[in-house]
């Protein structure tokens, strides 16, 4: 279905752009010696590439054309770790809106394979927004306190920073790619 294929192809730009943006953030954080936050962002960058791969696989399996987007140079400076995470949150909300749009198109067209594939993304976006919101709030609590910032950074290194985020639709995401 052409409209759906076009929508998925234009959504690919969101995923590639997010991957690129997170890589730039990872570099900035590394330069600030926030190794934990930086590692987290690097992992997120790879995840976004994985999201693009999922969509590409769907198009190929559906015998539809893949059109890879041009990727713009991302922002590479932020005022603070806090403003960087504000940006993450806004970006994830935009990605969610784009997924919801594709979902509506797939639903209206009765494309069950597309809605089944997109269910994974619905769960993923719920979790991504929840994580971004959580980190933002923790950074607000830390405010200008360097010790608190370093504690959060260490938690990212230890893998404990996000244990409190529940991932409300996690059962939709069992299998990984
Ligand atoms: Fe994504
Ligand atoms: Fe994301």
Give pLDDT tens digits for 22-80: 999 999 999 999 999 999 999 999 999 999 999 999 999 999 999 999 999 999 999 99
Per-residue confidence band for 170, with pLDDT thresholds at 50, 70 and 90: confident
Structure tokens at 96: 């969610």
Asked if residue 167 is part of any domain, the answer here is no
Domain with residue 16: its CATH number is 1.20.1260.10
Which bound ligand lies closest to the C-alpha atom of 98? 1
- In the reported structure, the alpha carbon of residue 35 is separated from the centroid of ligand 1 by a whole-number distance in angstroms of 22
* 168, part of any domain: no
Average pLDDT in the 158-167 region?
92
- In the chain, how many domains are there? 1
The overall average pLDDT reported for the chain is 95
Gap from CA of 88 to ligand 2 centroid (Å): 8
The burial of 52, by beta-carbon neighbours within 10 Å (0-12 exposed, 13-18 middle, 19 or more buried), is given as buried
Query: Which tokens hold the place of 130?
Result: 């929840």
13 SS3 class: helix
Ligand 1 centroid to Cα of residue 137, in Å, is 21
- Is the separation of the CB atoms in 93 and 42 below 8 Å? no
Let me know how long the chain is: 177
Instruction: With respect to residue 171, please indicate whether it lies within any of the assigned structural domains.
Output: no
**Nearest bound ligand to CA 130?**
2
pLDDT value at residue 112: 97
**Structural domain boundaries, residue 65:** 2-162
Task: Confirm whether 75 is domain-assigned.
Answer: yes
């Amino acid at each position: 279905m052409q409209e759906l294929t076009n929508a998925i192809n234009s959504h690919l730009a969101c995923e590639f752009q997010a991957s690129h943006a997170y890589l730039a953030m990872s570099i900035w954080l590394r330069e600030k010696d926030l190794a934990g936050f930086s590692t987290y962002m690097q992992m997120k960058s790879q995840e976004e590439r994985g999201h693009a791969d999922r969509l590409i696989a769907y198009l190929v399996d559906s015998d539809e054309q893949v059109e890879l987007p041009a990727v713009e140079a991302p922002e590479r400076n932020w005022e603070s770790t806090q403003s960087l995470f504000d940006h993450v949150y806004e970006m994830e909300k935009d990605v969610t809106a784009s997924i919801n749009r594709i979902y509506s198109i797939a639903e209206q067209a009765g494309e069950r394979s597309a809605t089944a594939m997109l269910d994974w993304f619905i769960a993923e976006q719920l979790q991504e927004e929840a994580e971004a919101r959580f980190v933002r709030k923790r950074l607000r609590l830390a405010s200008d306190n360097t010790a608190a910032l370093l504690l959060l950074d260490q938690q990212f290194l230890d893998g404990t920073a996000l244990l409190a985020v529940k991932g409300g639709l996690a059962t939709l995401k069992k299998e990984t790619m």
